[in-house]
Copies of this chain bind each other. A is one copy, B any other.
Amino acid sequence: MKLYSYFRSSAAYRVRIALGLKALEFETVTVNLVTGEQRGSGYLDKNRQGLVPALELDSGEILSQSTAILEWLEETYPQPPLYPAASMARARIRALCQHIACDIHPLNNLRVLFYLRDELQQERESVDRWYSHWIQRGFDALELEVSQENSLLSLGEQPGMFEVMLIPQIYNARRFNVSLNSYPHLVEREQRCLEHPAFAAAAPEAQVDAPQA
């Protein structure tokens, strides 16, 4: 499999984690979102939506949209599972995941920040405030949910789909200096996950297109 990826894309980061948790081998093809490679014809032939990530199967078929890719991975490579087995528990995890995928992340991705800056003529400070606002609104709700859980991670002792979504979102928050002081339960989960080899291998700074330290 080939993963079309950009080191800082948190949607690509999610898929990298899931591939690692399922111990699947893949080749990374980098797409530079800052120079606009995702809008070049080479990439658009692969993925008309012009977004990363995309997963190219050995058959040449291409999957797009991180959430669709994650569901396909779970269906196709069920071991180890990333969702709980019980239907209600799975619905609950999917709701937490969607809260990140729909209510936080899309408001803060690069094309939106560019629109705020270029079309709405917003200064850096205003763009940063926008960024923090949507993370805080979302994390406030997620912290409350997670604080009432008995388990340490979404599959008890093991990370699952919620952590696949959460850790890239916390990475984004840190990158934009959003205070995480109000979210001790979310940060605790992050710390547990960062020790895990699948999360370490998927981290932005471990990618081939990351700037060398």
Contacts and interface: CB of A to CB of B under 8 A. Distances in A.
A141 B50 contact: yes
B75 A87 contact: yes
A101 B94 CA distance: 14
A66 to B, nearest CB: 8
Contacts of A212: none
Contacts of A116: 120
A170 interface: no
A106 B104 CA distance: 9
A16 B66 CA distance: 26
A194 to B, nearest CB: 25
B51 A68 contact: no
B49 A99 contact: yes
Interface in A133-151: 133, 141, 144-145
Contacts of A92: 63, 68
B99 A72 contact: no
Most central of A50, A64, A101 by chain B CB within 10 Å:
A64
15 contacts: A48-B144, A49-B103, A63-B91, A63-B92, A63-B95, A64-B95, A67-B67, A69-B95, A72-B94, A76-B87, A101-B101, A101-B102, A103-B106, A106-B106, A119-B133
Given A51-B103, A66-B98, A120-B122, 15 more contacts: A50-B141, A63-B88, A63-B95, A65-B99, A67-B94, A68-B97, A72-B91, A72-B94, A98-B101, A102-B105, A102-B106, A106-B106, A115-B133, A119-B129, A120-B120
